[in-house]
Structure 1
Amino acid sequence: MDQNYNGNDNGPITKRSSPPLPTPRSSPYTQQLPTRSKIRQQKLKYTFVGYIIVLIFLSITQFIGVGFFKSGFLLSRNVLPGISTCHNIENGEINGDLTSSCLSPRFKKTILLVIDALRFDFVIPVSDSQEYYHNNFPILYDLSQTNNGVLLKFIADPPTTTLQRLKGLTTGSLPTFIDAGSNFDGDAIDEDNWLLQLHKINKTIAFMGDDTWQALFSDYINPNLNFPYDSLNVWDLDTVDNGVIEHLFPLIEKDQCSKWDLLIGHFLGVDHVGHRYGPRHYTMKQKLNQMNDVITKVVENLEEDTLLVLIGDHGMDSTGNHGGDSPDELESTLFMYSKNHKFLKKDDSFYDISNLGADYREVNQIDLVSTMSILLGLPIPFNNLGFPIDEAFGSTKELISATKLTINQIKKFRDLTPNLSNSLLDDYKSLLKHENDMFVEKSKQYQYKSLEECKSLWARFDLRFIGIGIGILFLSLTFMITYARSIPAVRVSTMSFEFIGSVIAMTIMGIVLSFSVCIVLKPADFSLKTCISIGAALGMVIGFWAPIMDRFSINFLYHQTIDFFMYNFNSWSFMGILFVAFHCLIFASNSFVVWEDKMISFFLLTFGFSCIYGCSVNSKLNKSQKILGISHAVTFTILTRIVSMINLCREEQRSYCEPTFSTHWWTIVLLVLISFLLPSTITSFYKLSDSYHSAAPLWIGTGLKFILFMNSIYWVFEYIQNNEYFNKYNIVGSNLIKSLKLAIARLVLFITLILANFSWSRGPLCVKLDLKDDLDIERINDSEEEEEKPNGKTATILGYGNVYGSSYFLLVLNFTGAVMLTNKPIGAISLSILIVQILSLLEIFDLLQIRKNLISPIIFSLLSFQHFFSTGHQATIPSIQWEIGFMTTENIVFPFTHLNIILNTFGSFFIIALSIPLITLWKIIPSSKPITLLSQIITNVTTLITYHLFTGLSSLIFAAHFRRHLMVWKIFAPRFMLSGLLIIVLNIFLIIFTLWFGTGRIINQVNRIFGK
């Protein structure tokens, strides 16, 4: 422990009258500091900068490791550049009865309408259902009961994100998992697709709706008939749909039909209702009714020679989200209708309406590509893997012709694809022996085997990059452990610039050597960028280890590590190591990954009960301290249990989990109450150390209360805007509420992230100088140190015993206000509990004297994970709360939209990362050795990074190990991506905000005022 640590001194500190009390340098009365004090401040500054630079290099090494693993694990595929034509498939390849590789078009014009997230059970009759999403879109089912319409279950391929679905629906290929990352940054499709084929024969394409089409097909859409709308503002339910309707109906009028050959309309309202409210909200009924009216009107105006195709690109789960591969997300809708075309109905076309569509025939979404191409007289796109939809053709003869074209195209694709050309040859030859219906069935089997083989081929991982990434992260972890815990803190501080010089030199050497090797040897599949990255990473790792090996022997490091554990190792350390080990082992099982939230809560509850026991049997504590410690431990344990009851269930948890993360009237009321209760609770903690002075009343009693109250008002308006009762009677104008919400959100974020942090960096400490006359001295507690001044006054510095912690905690509150705004009401309630848990832990660490113990930063890390889950998140793509991005903007505006999502997703980790220095700073007096104090903070910061490196590396290793597991893309891959993002985000946040902006400022300010 620091020799100036005064953990049990909760009262004011009285400074003797001689020498006089120091004053800040900024004061006009500041005296010239002694030369020795200036030297100490310069040394503190250089030491701090050294630490920052070392951590920057360490973080870069980790980023490179994560990048390599990502490149090897997240799959991508090479697209074959071929473009099909009506003459590039040899005539007569099958049975010799085709006169052309393209059939005559069945329709002159086509209307393709996409209703985003149109889950299949939204459009079929469901008996005895009171859900808003059932029985409110009957037109499709009614028309499918005639021979002119067909309704099928449309199965999407994961990932179920719009951009990937549009790629599959137009190219017939299967996007891989990594393509999901481009859903918000889509590039034009560079492979053959049926829109390109239409464009090649000078057909006119009109479009209106989701601007994703604009990003993918801008070269093919007629610029005079192109009406894109912003697609990602999920809180806007009507703008896109109204825009589509505005341009759709004029274009389908008889005098306007000659302007286009293909008309595409993409509606987004159903999807946005799901994202914003979930499918069970009354707004879903309104939106489905609107879509029903639109389709009814389109059918009424449909020309005789026009084909109407209506599809959903994916479904949605019970929370309204999508992106994964649950049945509700995969099962969408396909409807085809024409006034003069009879569809080939199967014997099983009509089904029992009481079982949510379970018996309806399923077709794959990629099957639409060959179907549309043949119906429109186009060559089938070169990379297509789908099969024609039986019902789309008017007769068996047409279906057989379409099947022959498709099998020719698939065979051509396989012949030109490496690793495919020599397989399935026997299956192809055998199907040539069959005719009519048997030929179609055998062709389906051939296509299915080909599709499965392609999936297997594209699921190939680059084990070299995976191994390099894991290796770099492992080397970073070994150094981080040594840097954080094995080398004495005082030696680490003096070695910072040795690390910097060594790292720079070895990095340059590594880059030069790797560049030379890459130029000379030209290794296969290793680009120059890859070689340089490997050289830089290895150079940095060697650069870190070189000074240690030069200064210390392996034997010394071994004994130093043993001494560290022997000196600090106790039951608390053992518990911390167990928590880390068990958390790492979670990733060895898909079931444990699924239930990670409950295991984290179990770890924290175990620690809480251990603290209760520890405080009750600790002989070093007096009776009052035991009571205080037990009360804090009980508080922490109860709050931890309450938080564990807030959850957003994963799909895999559904049968054993009751979701509680939702917005109700009582959560709004509780949020309003918290705006008064939380500041009062924090005030009580400050008064324990007599620190509620100077800046504290302004920040906590006024500022925090105002911010929390404004947050609650924002969510009150949001609740009113979404409530069926208020909307039914038009009690409050929606435009007024919308404007007020935007104003509140912008004001709160400006105050918390800019104004409050600027004021904090220039503001005073939470201390107060109290002068008392001689006559008042007698009324001061006898335990206080006192001495009369020559003028009969005694000076007491109130808050002196917590001068660091009380002031630094105000910075934590600044960021907490912003994070709470960007979380839904029950999530904000959870974060309020997090603040109380942090303060209780700090008091427990102080009383039990375990602030230097390994357990302290580990428990903080576990808290960040617990509140990640309790704020409505899981390690899944659908749980990302994209709608929060539009709290401060109506459209996507960088960086504000992205900032909201980042604060929402990683908010609990930010709060904990910012609070880590408090383990050292809470309830200590000004230190005469600020460098030692800084070293202890760096130890806790690097321990936090080490914890995330341990869990992240374990997640990566087991994701690689289970790369062929059935649940790899549903469970293991999303969890490894969360780990990788945490490594990146936390390193950046810790360096910039926790250390550079927060810790550096508070230590420097206290040292200037109280330094000796």
Structure 2
Amino acid sequence: MESDQLESSGPRRIVKQQQIQQQARSKVKQQKLKITFTGYVIVLIFLSIVQIIGVGFFTRGFLLTRNVLPDISDCSINNSCIPAKFDKAVILIIDALRFDFVIPINDDSANEYYHNNFPLLYDLAQNDNGILLKFIADPPTTTLQRLKGLTTGSLPTFIDAGSNFDGDHIDEDNWILQLHKQNKSIACMGDDTWQALFNNYINPQLNFPFDSLNVWDLHTVDNGVIKHIFPLLDKQERSKWDVLIGHFLGVDHAGHRYGPNHYAMKEKLNQMNEILLKVISELEDNTLLVVLGDHGMDPTGNHGGDSIEELESTLFMYSKNKKFNKKNKSFYDISQQGKNYRAVNQIDLVPTISLLLGLPIPYNNLGYPIDEVFSNDKELVEVAHKSLQQLNTFRSNTHDLSSKLDNSYNSFITNYTEHGNDKHHYEQLISSAKQYQHASLEECKSLWATFDLKLISIGIGILFLSLTFLLTYARSIPAVRVSTMSFEFIGSVIAMCLLGLVISLSIYIVLKPTDFSLNKCLAIGAALGIIIGFWAPIMDRFSVNWLLHQTIDFFSFNFNSYSFLGLLFVVSHGLIFASNSFVVWEDKMVSFFLITFGFSCIFGLSVKNNITKAQKILGLSHAITFTLFARFSSMINLCREEQRPYCEPTFISTWWSVLLLHGCTYILPSFIISFYKLTNSYHSAAPLWIGTGLKFLMFMNAVHWTLEYVHNSDYFAGRWFASSALLKPLKLAIARIVLFIALILANFSWSKGPLCVKLEYQAENSGDSDDNNGLQKSANILGYGNVYGSSYFLLVLNFTVAIMMVTKPLGAISLNMLIVQILSLLELYDILELRKNLVAPIIFGLLGYQNFFSTGHQATLASIQWEIGFLTTETIFFPFTHLNIVLNTFGSFLIISLAIPLITLWKIVPSNKPITVLSQIITNITTLLTYIAITGLSSLIFAAHFRRHLMVWKIFAPRFMLSGLLIIILNIFLITVPLVFGTGKVVTQVNRIFGK
């Protein structure tokens, strides 16, 4: 008996020892995987830091603000003021009041919603007490930038436009400041941008600001202005103020939310007409009324660019007892819808209103007084003299401006001194003054933004150096990749980064350069230190010749026709930035690239012989699906102004788009389930995520946009359910619930959840046992062949649902097609053996660009969908408002970034070499980053090259800004979510369960 126990204990001891050894090997393998993973993350973090520094330097060099002189004008200097013509002024800004909104249109082109609904201004201008002018804005047409121009008389800059949503105090001379200096009381109500800019000058007891950025709110600001303006116009309250400013936003918000072609625009214009009629009835004889628009709006209701519709706004001036000087009646002819109507620049309002109120003209002003408000030519000559004195003073103290106009100014002064009282010389003097101002303005426009070529060059240089390493790292030979994972390599990067910081700090302390601040010196030192730290160990370990030969051999072995196609796409995409026409039509070029790849796959499958007939049919179906959806997506577009009339916008909310959204609630999950069933992976977490969760969240999304359509539709206007007080909170609640579940609850559950596999037991007849009737159980793991991909794809769905929530219906439909395209691509890559090919991540990148355009975006300021920021909040609330806008704008890029690891993970069994799997994922991630970096660097280079181009601020600058943001956002996102959160969890979990 004892011998039997000894014999049985021996095998048990051996088995136990083998288990211990297996566990030890597993722990070592997991530890090695963790160290390797950490090394990859550190390398990518340093690379992202370098690229972000490069973008920062270029941006600081390219988007500098103009030089602002701190001087303040004073009446005592050159006797620069004239007696005030009015005691008080009421200035009403109707935001986005396009000029054709206020003039009569009586032909077939008239639109019932925005034509002939605001007749009061034109009717009053038919008398000599009123004047109506076309008011031309300087681009970019954003509200804060326009208010700066309307109060300072200076030219705009792109940085001003970028600050539209983070306004700050104006630090240059303006007529609001001049009023404050003369102890005038300023009352202000409406758009809170006035408070941001002029809070120090407005009477605090008469300041009533309202939140201005919720473009879905048409009434709060306007109702606030109405509530406070009429009590102040009462006789007993008039003594409290000298200038009353009211800024209405309803017309602008109606345009942003619905576009001008909507009944809400008609209601707003009618309301403004009634309010102004009441305001005029309350005016005193010594009060000047000024009604103006700060900009117009394009056919979609947006603004920010320089199309005619955005630039042509309205200026109306009225007085009960003063008459305006309309010398040439033909200037006010509204035939041809006002195309030849008298027009003035918006900056001309600054010297005009300053002189009318007895103020000195602001020091930095570039405008010229408006003729019509001064009663005769003698008065016009006098104000021309005051205006040119101010312009000459400004020019003589601005070093960037030439002295070529000095002779013109001296000639005017001489003629004014000799003939200033001779009426026969009035027209000549006025004409010469206008010529001087026009020439000065044109010169200043050519210098409106000062480019710092040093910073631009440094930015491009840093980005180029980072790209050289990124190119090597993305498609490097294995020996180089492995060497960069050692702590010696990472230590080198950290050490050289610190050394660069110390050296740059020392240089700054010793040399004290005037052109560079401490932060700039440290940034340069850190970037160069990181780059040197990257290359030093590689150059030390491998000779240049060996690297070149190995790289050539590596690419020769891995390069084929598909690789060439991918390389061709990247080069072509990078070169389009050399032409403004190609940049304008970038959306069509991206679609062409994708459709070309789809046809290439169809051809490749047709001639491929080493696959079965079933695989060929399946592959062809995926290739055709991918190509058709690429074509369908290209049909959803928001045309930029330069594309008209060759482009018809289709990105609009209609009943059928909302209906399609409901259909997608059932169609997309069915598509995804069919892909999962191909690999027998629809088990465990998959039914809950796809069959239940995805359908529910997509249904809630469709309900939200249905309610939004009902609220906005002409058909439902006035019906109780469309105007119900419950509608708005219900929409907010749905959006909040969907985003909370998709971004927080679902991701947390995914990180703790199981893999999409199922253990299935089968009974088999052993034939040699009497126990259990000769039956023996065997286990089969369902979903084993796609254990990585099926689980990881659920993470992609989490973010996709959130992005669909903040995307308008047609954009969400495009994202539905994107998900099917991604799955079809993954199947194609498997059949065509392209998962390790250069073209694989590049096509994903192109899909990101195409869906950026098909979700209603362009590389323009006007296409930013600011209203989406208020999908979950009624006011600006950090970070939710900002998160909505980021998800809406860059959602397609975030989806394809999340899907990049699937190129490696889709349809592979658990690997006994997880580090190899991780290495291939890093290859695809860095290849995508390389593609974005190449197109981004090309965009920056050509923006710098064309910095004096006529279209620089309209085409090249917005496109480089998009490239810079993509470089920053994708670097951060790819490291944190797809790599650390997604790949780290899936690869580690599979290795722990199935590790060998």
Could you say whether these structures have the same fold, taking a TM-score greater than 0.5 normalized by the shorter chain as the test? Answer: yes
Quickly say closer, same or farther: Cα 1:753–1:32, change in 2 above 3 A: farther
Q: Within 1, Cα distance between the matches of 2:382 and 2:894?
A: 61
**Contact 1:54/1:496, CA 8 A, preserved across alignment:** no
Matched, 1:468 2:449: no
Aligned match of 1:666: 656
Aligned match of 1:122: 101
Secondary structure in structure 2 of the residue aligned to 1:208: strand
Q: Within 2, Cα distance between the matches of 1:263 and 1:36?
A: 80
Q: Within 1, Cα distance between the matches of 2:711 and 2:854?
A: 25
Aligned match of 2:87: 108
Aligned match of 1:74: 63
**Contact 2:57/2:456, CA 8 A, preserved across alignment:** yes
Which structure 2 residues correspond to residues 919-938 of structure 1 after superposition, within 5 A?
Answer: 919-938=903-922
Count how many residue pairs are aligned between Structure 1 and Structure 2: 966
Aligned match of 1:1003: 987
Q: Within 1, Cα distance between the matches of 2:627 and 2:587?
A: 16
Matched, 1:177 2:158: yes
Question: Deviation at 1:493?
Answer: 6.6
Q: Deviations over 1:334-382 (max 9, x none)?
A: 0000001111113135644342210111111111110011000011111
Quickly say closer, same or farther: Cα 1:493–1:807, change in 2 above 3 A: farther
Quickly say closer, same or farther: Cα 1:227–1:490, change in 2 above 3 A: same
Aligned match of 1:519: 509
Q: Deviations over 1:78-118 (max 9, x none)?
A: 211101111122xxxxxxxxxx4211111111000000000
Q: Deviations over 1:423-458 (max 9, x none)?
A: 311111222344412111100110111112222233
Aligned match of 1:990: 974
Q: Within 2, Cα distance between the matches of 1:413 and 1:790?
A: 104
Matched, 1:272 2:262: no
Q: Within 2, Cα distance between the matches of 1:490 and 1:396?
A: 80
Secondary structure in structure 2 of the residue aligned to 1:655: coil
Q: Within 1, Cα distance between the matches of 2:54 and 2:484?
A: 28
Matched, 1:963 2:947: yes
Q: Deviations over 1:843-868 (max 9, x none)?
A: 00000111000010000000000000
Aligned match of 2:200: 219
Aligned match of 1:232: 213
**Contact 1:51/1:496, CA 8 A, preserved across alignment:** no
Q: Within 2, Cα distance between the matches of 1:34 and 1:61?
A: 41
1:207 alignment partner, one of 170, 175, 188: 188
After TM superposition, the structure 1 stretch with the greater mean CA deviation from structure 2, 394-403 or 752-761, is 394-403
Q: Within 1, Cα distance between the matches of 2:289 and 2:125?
A: 12
**Contact 1:127/1:354, CA 8 A, preserved across alignment:** no
Q: Within 2, Cα distance between the matches of 1:763 and 1:748?
A: 20
Aligned match of 2:114: 133
Q: Within 2, Cα distance between the matches of 1:62 and 1:951?
A: 13
Matched, 1:437 2:427: yes
Aligned match of 1:950: 934
Question: Deviation at 1:32?
Answer: 9.6
Q: Within 2, Cα distance between the matches of 1:495 and 1:51?
A: 7
- The AA in structure 2 aligned to 1:321 is N
2:758 alignment partner, one of 748, 768, 778: 768
Q: Deviations over 1:642-690 (max 9, x none)?
A: 1111111111111111111111100011000100110011000000000
**Contact 2:742/2:798, CA 8 A, preserved across alignment:** yes
1:851 alignment partner, one of 828, 835, 841: 835
Which structure 2 residues correspond to residues 337-376 of structure 1 after superposition, within 5 A?
Answer: 337-348=318-329, 351-376=332-357
TM-score (normalizing by structure 2) = 0.95
Aligned match of 1:92: none
2:556 alignment partner, one of 545, 553, 566: 566
**Contact 1:240/1:268, CA 8 A, preserved across alignment:** yes
Q: Within 2, Cα distance between the matches of 1:914 and 1:571?
A: 27
Aligned match of 1:649: 639
Secondary structure in structure 2 of the residue aligned to 1:356: helix
Quickly say closer, same or farther: Cα 1:430–1:503, change in 2 above 3 A: same
Q: Within 1, Cα distance between the matches of 2:55 and 2:228?
A: 47
After TM superposition, the structure 1 stretch with the greater mean CA deviation from structure 2, 526-535 or 705-714, is 526-535
Aligned match of 1:257: 238
Quickly say closer, same or farther: Cα 1:994–1:72, change in 2 above 3 A: same
- The AA in structure 2 aligned to 1:118 is L
Aligned match of 1:555: 545
Q: Within 2, Cα distance between the matches of 1:459 and 1:186?
A: 19
**Contact 2:155/2:448, CA 8 A, preserved across alignment:** no
Matched, 1:37 2:2: no
2:687 alignment partner, one of 694, 697, 701: 697
Quickly say closer, same or farther: Cα 1:266–1:791, change in 2 above 3 A: same
- The AA in structure 1 aligned to 2:947 is R
Q: Within 2, Cα distance between the matches of 1:436 and 1:505?
A: 74
Which structure 2 residues correspond to residues 79-90 of structure 1 after superposition, within 5 A?
Answer: 79-89=68-78
**Contact 2:473/2:481, CA 8 A, preserved across alignment:** no
Q: Within 2, Cα distance between the matches of 1:802 and 1:489?
A: 29
Q: Deviations over 1:153-196 (max 9, x none)?
A: 00111110000110011111112112111101111111111111
Aligned match of 1:628: 618
Quickly say closer, same or farther: Cα 1:579–1:789, change in 2 above 3 A: farther
Question: Deviation at 1:77?
Answer: 1.6
Q: Within 1, Cα distance between the matches of 2:856 and 2:804?
A: 13
After TM superposition, the structure 1 stretch with the greater mean CA deviation from structure 2, 120-129 or 393-402, is 393-402
Aligned match of 1:447: 437
Matched, 1:895 2:879: yes
After TM superposition, the structure 1 stretch with the greater mean CA deviation from structure 2, 893-902 or 122-131, is 122-131
Q: Within 2, Cα distance between the matches of 1:665 and 1:267?
A: 31
**Contact 1:125/1:354, CA 8 A, preserved across alignment:** no
Q: Deviations over 1:744-797 (max 9, x none)?
A: 0000000000000000000000000000112699xxxxxxxxxx9997101000
Aligned match of 2:821: 837
Q: Within 2, Cα distance between the matches of 1:321 and 1:108?
A: 37
After TM superposition, the structure 1 stretch with the greater mean CA deviation from structure 2, 430-439 or 315-324, is 430-439
Q: Within 1, Cα distance between the matches of 2:641 and 2:722?
A: 37
Percentage identity across paired residues of the two chains: 71
- The AA in structure 2 aligned to 1:341 is K
**Contact 2:188/2:245, CA 8 A, preserved across alignment:** yes
Quickly say closer, same or farther: Cα 1:168–1:600, change in 2 above 3 A: same
Q: Deviations over 1:830-888 (max 9, x none)?
A: 00000000000000000011100001000000000000000000000100000000000
Question: Deviation at 1:487?
Answer: 3.0
Matched, 1:972 2:956: yes
**Contact 1:506/1:542, CA 8 A, preserved across alignment:** yes
Question: Deviation at 1:419?
Answer: 3.4
- The AA in structure 2 aligned to 1:34 is Q
After TM superposition, the structure 1 stretch with the greater mean CA deviation from structure 2, 723-732 or 753-762, is 723-732
Q: Deviations over 1:578-618 (max 9, x none)?
A: 00110011111111101110010111101101111111211
Secondary structure in structure 2 of the residue aligned to 1:448: helix
2:267 alignment partner, one of 260, 281, 286: 286
Which structure 2 residues correspond to residues 871-886 of structure 1 after superposition, within 5 A?
Answer: 871-886=855-870
**Contact 1:805/1:921, CA 8 A, preserved across alignment:** yes
2:144 alignment partner, one of 159, 163, 174: 163
- The AA in structure 2 aligned to 1:1003 is V
Q: Within 1, Cα distance between the matches of 2:774 and 2:166?
A: 73
Q: Within 2, Cα distance between the matches of 1:640 and 1:590?
A: 24
Q: Deviations over 1:507-566 (max 9, x none)?
A: 111111122222222333112221111111111111111111112111122112211211
- Unmatched tracts of structure 1, length 5 or more: 1-17, 23-29, 90-99, 778-787
Q: Within 1, Cα distance between the matches of 2:480 and 2:503?
A: 35
Matched, 1:47 2:36: yes
Secondary structure in structure 1 of the residue aligned to 2:716: helix
Q: Within 2, Cα distance between the matches of 1:676 and 1:200?
A: 66
Which structure 2 residues correspond to residues 493-532 of structure 1 after superposition, within 5 A?
Answer: 495-532=485-522
Question: Deviation at 1:497?
Answer: 2.8
Q: Within 2, Cα distance between the matches of 1:248 and 1:459?
A: 38
Q: Within 2, Cα distance between the matches of 1:790 and 1:577?
A: 62
